[in-house]
């Protein structure tokens, strides 16, 4: 299950239980819409409630991020599971994104609300 909320900096995305291809398609639509309307959105991705993900979702995520790697700003990832952390790290390596990892949503939001250093 996925929850997507618009924020000042971009999108807050929370995942619960299993992250499926259907969930990722909803995320794709929201990311592209936000990018079209507001430029490069930053994204807070809360994986702390995610228990598992499907292989087809993981493959689509890599494909999508490679195709749109310059369309988004910063990624803040909240995680609390070692396997989810590893999967997120590998995804970042495959897509050339450089996410920051946090233990809480509050820390991630504070980072995204800070101005980007030039």
Read off the pLDDT band of 13 (50, 70, 90): very high
Residue 12 confidence (pLDDT) above 90: yes
Tokens of 117: 């250093």
Residue 83 confidence (pLDDT) above 70: no
The pLDDT of residue 33: 96
Residue 7 confidence (pLDDT) above 90: yes
**pLDDT tens-digit profile of 96-106?**
567 888 989 99
Task: Give the percent of the chain with pLDDT over 70.
Answer: 85
The pLDDT of residue 94: 44
93 vs 12: CA distance, rounded Å: 22
- pLDDT (average), residues 13-19: 93
- Indicate the burial class of 67 (C-beta count within 10 angstroms; 0-12, 13-18, 19 or more): exposed
């Amino acid at each position: 299950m996925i929850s997507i909320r618009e924020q000042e900096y971009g999108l807050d995305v929370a995942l619960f239980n299993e992250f499926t291809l259907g969930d990722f398609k909803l995320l794709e639509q929201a990311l592209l819409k936000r990018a079209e309307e507001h430029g490069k959105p930053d994204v807070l991705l809360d994986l702390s409630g995610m228990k598992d993900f499907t292989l087809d979702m993981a493959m689509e995520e890599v494909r999508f991020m490679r195709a749109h790697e310059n369309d988004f700003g910063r990624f803040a990832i909240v995680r609390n599971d070692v396997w989810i952390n590893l999967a997120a790290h590998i995804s970042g390596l495959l897509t050339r994104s450089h996410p920051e990892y946090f233990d809480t949503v509050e820390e991630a939001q504070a980072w995204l609300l800070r101005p980007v250093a030039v």
